[in-house]
Structure 1
Amino acid sequence: MTEEALFAGPALRRLRKREGLTQAATAARLDISPSYLNLIERNQRPVSARVMMQLVEQFDFDPRSLREDEAIGGIDGLARRFADERFADLGIDREELQEFLALTPQAAAAFARLYDRAGTAGGSADDPLSASRREIERWRNHFADLDMAAEELADDMRLSRGDIGLALTERLRERHQLSVRILPRDVLPDSLRRLDLHARQVQLSEMLSIPSRNFQLALQLAQLEFAGAIDAVAKGARFDDEVARALFARHLNSYVAAALLMPYGRFLRACEATGYDLPVLERRFGVSFEQLAHRLTTLQRVGQRGLPFFMVRLDRAGQFSKTFTGASTALFVESDASCPLWHAHRAFDRAGDLQVQFVALDNSGDRDGGWLTMARTVEGSGAPGEAQFVVAVGIEAVLAADLAQARGISLRPDDAQPIGPGCARCHRVGCSQRSLPPAGRKLAFDTARRGVTPFEFASD
């Protein structure tokens, strides 16, 4: 089995601060460059076996302590919890959270445990869906062994067949004695796919698009040939609820299906060669925009990493039905509501058009480095005329300059559209789009004037 990459930036940073060393001094003792140490501390690179040996030799260090903050998701997991509206009036910034995690890691873990048990404003954090999402987040949505096995199978099928749909159909017939049959909608009124073992058929709805048909065939193959490997990963997860485990296993099956359609090596090479050109990648791999967006969040193979994208799916009410951050640190997509100033909402009225926007999270006047986001409408089931959603992908602006969709877009910080994590959690002053007062802030009233927003409050 491939060993899981060890990301332990916060723990390594705590060690350095405890020893009173600069990054340059620590890097010298570990025999690595300061820039590489910086990447490790930011969880952009894993702790290699050689660096681990140097840590033990130079600092008499217990390697087990590198795992201590994994369960809470490090600084990003802690920041997500403190973004709750119940803490809005405290003005806790990221630097304070770093100190909290660095100086009192056990207290930080205790807080995270209590927070997760108590639940969030949007519902219990221990509900099955939240638990499944936390486990996906813990893996950073990259399952190395499943990805490698899927890539090997995809390469094997493509040795003599160029069409992935045909290759999947032939694999099902030759290996599992299953034929593929497309059935009218009135025969499968409530199903997209059905496995009929009596007839030895994989039955698909005629309403599915070609990319969705291929995905359903890949999903069926994943369930048949990867059941043992998927079950092993799902059983290893820390769940109190079997429904959460079933949701996690469903995600793993979809993960394998996407890896079959977009094999890691070929897909990453295509991404890099095209500047992650989304329409080109859709066509080249014969996938939907939503399938492509999912795959972009998984490119974290050790020694062969892609860019850290996030992906969300939202409905017209601004509710997130899917959120995958992978290696991204985009906290604004983990809120209970989205910002109406984000052009992802505009995509509903411009079906099929890619909405590209440079945004920056603007909370309490403290703007982040900004994100390039790309959003487009998708059909809910892959069947034309069904429920409509918008899928958005995004990446930090500092990494986006060479992307195909960034051409013609100014990524200067001053040109970013300020957005917030939903009105109730946004402290931006003077926003004319505000619909709700910000939680934890005292409202101000002036009978002599009427401002641009119905809810005014002090900026400090």
Structure 2
Amino acid sequence: MRYGEVNHDDVEIVSICPTANAPSCFFVKIFTKGAGQPRDSSVSPQDRKLFAGARLRRLRLQQALTQTRMAEDLGVSVSYLNLIERNQRPLTAAFLLKLASVYNFDLRELTGDDSDAVAAELARVLADPALTGISAGRTELAEVAASAPGVAAALLRLHALHVSGVTKQQSAAPTTAGPVERVEQLLRDRRNHFPELDAACEALADDLRLASADLSAAMTDRLRVRHGLTVRVLPVDVMPDHLRRLDLHARQLQLSEGLDASSRRFHIACQLALSELRPVIDAALVGADLSDGAEDRAGARIGVQVLANYAAAAIMMPYGRFVGSCEALGYDVELLQARFGAGFEQVAHRLTTLQRPGARGVPFFLMRLDRAGNVSKRLSAFNTPLAQHGGGCPLWAVHTAFDRPGAIVRQVVETEDGGRFLTIARTVRTFAMPFGSTRPEFVIALGCELAHARALVYAHGLELDTTPAVPIGLGCAACARTGCRQRSIAPAGTRLRFDERSRGVTPFRFEG
């Protein structure tokens, strides 16, 4: 049915869902009375009507619009808009389509995708052993997510801080948030997506393509002509402790010869972003809580550098072309490397940023780990404890990837809260180093919820509905699984039980 074939007053929106083959597209599920016909009494009002007042109000405020201004733009009365925001009127097809055309909203932002995900996160929070005895139905959680998204976000953040505190008891790490932690929190709050910066990078990338088919040459020439900076590659012994250095006295961007081609391209793009997009980067940081007394400037500097790196990836892999390639190639990271002249880690990083309304990609999380399980990078397009606090479970195949350099290791895992994910992991090559030097080793881990995994080439050959998932945790101190043979310590906050007459599969028997 096409828009316009029915009387809009006889239509109510039930749901809007992404298509199976193209996550950036969607179809509308509607209920229609038919001309002059009564509604089907067998369909409950909750199944027919779409109420999205809280989400509409949130989107209106994000656009800095008053109710009067929005009502004028949409051609409705202020009182009618007020009733919709108070969930006393459902969204009609005419209103919803007018809203999408005027403000270019992603319709799914109004029809429950985000609130459903938040409701699922709240359900996982209630599965925490510390909240045993407290229950809430899915409908109740959905109401909280839809009508009070700020409260829901606060609860999720408090729980994340709780889990983080429990995990850090294992390593006695300080719980005070420093500048790095505050920047990481900013990325989590924004779901690692900065739309204005992405749009500016896409426009810049289009200009560069017109100048030259060779991106590195185009960026080098632009730095020279517009900013008076030349790019110079220097020997490793001249820059033993630097990969990139801006020498303002010599007007040079100096790069180490130890960088491969994709890394040199990335660093040139990073400098170009700092030279041309600094106002956009600064605007993206407005309102972010990056200050803490004496470390004020440290947090701000880290934030600028993180967003400059974000911009460099966005220049090398412009949003529209990159999302289209992801969908065409099944998110095959190595083929995306070849198409965009980027490194494995650079492509993996870019995959976590695909949250543009109307053109969303599969939401991924990313971690970079060393052999000891230390995590030096965490990025995520969605909220999950695994992305924020995971990495310390030896049952997760990310650790075995070190034994298979260059090979992609895939695994279906299930966390203690019931989350199921398809994850892949692969070692990454660092910059070239002189013989005899200690070479850093890292593994990049990428994961997405199993519900999105069918779009990935890495799911081929797997029966996602029936494939057994490996039970993993966030680390022994934060994991309450009782029968794990890999357990090294009892969970934090539990009491050990000893029985001299028996020995279990693990010496750590415990009770809450």
Q: Which interval holds the TM-score relative to the shorter structure?
A: 0.7 to 0.9
> Do 1:359 and 1:371's aligned partners in 2 also have CA atoms closer than 8 Å?
yes
Task: Give 2:132's aligned residue.
Answer: 91
The question of 1:331 aligning with 2:385 is answered: yes
Q: 1:446 to 1:204 in 2, by over 3 A?
A: same
1:196-242 per-position Cα deviation (integer Å, ceiling 9, x unaligned)? 22222211001011111110000010110011111222233233332
- Partner of 1:394, secondary structure, is strand
Contact conserved, 1:297 with 1:324, CA < 8 A, in 2?
yes
Partner of 2:421: 371
Counterpart of 2:302 in structure 1 is 247
In the alignment, is residue 216 of structure 1 matched against residue 267 of structure 2?
yes
The one of 283, 301, 307 equivalent to 2:362 is: 307
Equivalent pair of 2:118/2:152 in contact (CA under 8 Å): no
The one-letter code matched in structure 1 to 2:421 is: W
Q: Which residue of 1 aligns with 2:324?
A: 269
Could you tell me whether the CA contact under 8 Å between 2:281 and 2:308 is conserved in 1? yes
Distance 1:91 1:250, change over 3 A: farther
Tell me which residue corresponds to 2:472: 419
Contact 1:309 1:394 (C-alpha < 8 Å) held by counterparts: yes
Alignment of 1:438 onto 2:491: yes
Q: Is the 8 A contact 2:260 2:431 kept in 1?
A: no
Q: Give the secondary structure class of the aligned counterpart of 1:353.
A: coil
What CA deviation, in whole Å up to 9, does each residue of 1:120-175 have, x standing for no partner? 35333532222111111111111111101100110111124222222221221222
Closer, same or farther: CA 414–356 of 1 in aligned 2, 3 Å: closer
**Which residue pairs with 2:408 in the alignment?**
354
| 1:80–1:58 CA distance, 2 compared to 1 (3 A) | closer
- Once residues 427 and 499 of structure 2 are traced to their aligned partners in structure 1, the CA distance between those partners, rounded to angstroms, is 42
Change (3 A) 1:226 1:269: same
In structure 1, the partner of 2:16 is none
Does the CA-based 8 Å contact 1:277-1:405 persist in structure 2?
yes
Matches within 5 A, 1:58-77: 58=84, 60=86
Q: 2:399 maps to which residue?
A: 345
Native 8 Å contact 2:373 2:392 kept in 1: yes
Q: What is the match of residue 448 of structure 1?
A: 501
- 1:382 deviates by 7.3
- What is the CA-CA distance between 1:189 and the residue it aligns to? 0.7
CA RMSD of aligned residues (A): 3.9
Identify which of 35, 45, 48 aligns with 1:25.
Answer: 45
Aligned to 2:184: 133
Aligned residues: 411
- 1:17 maps to none
Are residues 112 and 306 of structure 1, via their aligned partners in 2, closer, same or farther at CA, if it must alter by over 3 Å? closer
Checking the alignment, whether the CA contact within 8 Å between 2:182 and 2:299 is kept in structure 1 is yes
Which residue pairs with 2:165 in the alignment?
120
> How far did residue 118 of structure 1 move?
13
2:346 to 283, 291, 300: 291
Which residue in 2 is equivalent to 1:149?
A: 200
Task: Show CA shifts across 1:335-355 (max 9, x none).
Answer: 265211111001112111111
1:176 aligns with 2:221: no
1:442 Cα deviation after fit: 3.3
Q: Which residue of 1 aligns with 2:21?
A: none
Aligned to 2:106: none
Residue aligning to 1:390 = 443
Query: Secondary structure at 1:120's aligned position in 2?
Result: helix
Q: CA separation in 2, counterparts of 1:120 and 1:395?
A: 25
Quick one: structure 1 residues 77 and 184, their matched pair in 2 at CA, closer, same or farther if it must change by over 3 Å?
A: farther
Paired position in structure 2 for 1:19 = none
Q: Which residue of 2 is the match for residue 4 of structure 1?
A: none
Deviates more, 1:110-119 or 1:257-266: 110-119
State TM-score, norm by structure 2.
Answer: 0.71
Change (3 A) 1:356 1:118: closer
What is the Cα deviation at residue 396 of structure 1? 0.9
Whole-angstrom CA distance in 2 between matches of 1:52 and 1:454: 69
Aligned partners of 2:498, 2:396: CA distance in 1, in Å?
28
What is the alpha-carbon distance in structure 2 between the residues aligned to residue 61 and residue 455 of structure 1?
52
The CA distance in 2 between the partners of 1:75 and 1:386, in whole Å, is 44
Supply the AA of the counterpart residue of 2:400: R
Distance 1:232 1:440 in 2: 43
Name the counterpart of 1:18.
Answer: none
Letter of the 1:285 partner, please give it: F
Counterpart residue type for residue 414 of structure 2: A
Q: Which amino acid aligns with 2:280?
A: A
SS, match of residue 454 in structure 2: coil
Query: Contact conserved, 2:393 with 2:475, CA < 8 A, in 1?
Result: yes
1:341-371 residue CA offsets vs partner (Å, 9 max, x unmatched): 111001112111111111111x2xx633x11
Aligned-residue identity in percent: 43
Structure 1 residues 320 and 133, CA, compared in 2 at 3 Å: closer, same or farther? same
Q: 1:110 to 1:157 in 2, by over 3 A?
A: closer
Distance 1:131 1:396, change over 3 A: same
1:233-253 Cα distance to aligned partner (Å, 9 max, x none): 223323333222222221111
Deviation, structure 1 residue 319: 1.9
Deviation at 1:57, TM superposition (A): 2.6
CA drift of 1:24 comes to: 6.6
Q: CA deviation at 1:261?
A: 0.4
2:212 paired residue among 138, 161, 171 = 161
**Which SS does the other structure have where 1:133 is aligned?**
helix
Kept in 2: contact 1:359–1:417 (CA 8 A): yes
Alignment partners' CA distance in 2, 1:139 and 1:280: 28
The 3 A distance-change label for structure 1 pair 29 and 408 is closer
Alpha-carbon distance in 1 for matches of 2:450, 2:334:
20
Alignment-derived partner of residue 253 in structure 2: 202
